[in-house]
């Protein structure tokens, strides 16, 4: 269990140190990632996807797409993933895959509180990570 918590922390630190662009759905998602120390974030709120794709492709070789795991979030992920790759942008799915495979996190806006709770629960004896 401790290994998964360390892996999660390492993934967040890797994003912070590399300054990889992270795409989120809205303001609350952006605020949650900022609480974790992630600074290079773009939100999708009310902007045409093609415009966002062009902007990202023009200035980034790699990005992370952290949309929610609801129907809308999965649809956005699919469109962005496909369009960005067509424009030469590498998609880093490490954190997304880890969150959705090994945690109960499904809404990005709660990620900072959820990660804190995971750490507290682990060290107090209740486990939040999937086994």
Q: Is the pLDDT of residue 126 over 70?
A: no
Q: Cα–Cα–Cα angle for 49, 23, 31, nearest 5°? A: 125
Highest mean pLDDT among 5-19, 69-83, 110-124: 69-83
Decide if 23 contacts 63 (C-beta within 8 A).
yes
Residue 11 covered by a domain? yes
- pLDDT per residue as tens digits for the range 35-49: 989 999 999 988 899
Tokens coding 103? 């945690």
List, for residues 95-124, the tens digit of each pLDDT value: 999 988 888 777 888 776 656 555 545 445
Are 84 and 61 in contact by the 8 Å Cβ rule? The answer is no
Q: Are 9 and 94 in contact (CB under 8 A)?
A: no
- Overall domain count for the chain: 1
Percent of the chain's residues with pLDDT above 70: 83
130 belongs to a structural domain: no
Token duo for residue 55: 């902007």
Structural domain of 96: 2-124
């Amino acid at each position: 269990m401790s290994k998964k918590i360390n892996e999660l922390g390492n993934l967040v630190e890797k994003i912070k140190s590399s300054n990889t662009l992270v795409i989120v759905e809205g303001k609350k998602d952006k605020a949650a990632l900022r609480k974790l120390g992630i600074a290079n974030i773009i939100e999708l709120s009310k902007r045409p996807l093609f415009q966002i794709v062009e902007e990202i492709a023009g200035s980034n070789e790699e990005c992370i797409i952290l949309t929610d795991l609801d129907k809308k979030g999965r649809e956005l992920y699919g469109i962005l993933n496909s369009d960005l790759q067509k424009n030469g942008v590498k998609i880093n799915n490490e954190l997304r895959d880890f969150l959705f495979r090994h945690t109960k996190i499904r809404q990005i806006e709660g990620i900072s509180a959820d990660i804190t709770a995971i750490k507290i629960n682990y060290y107090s004896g209740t486990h939040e990570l999937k086994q």
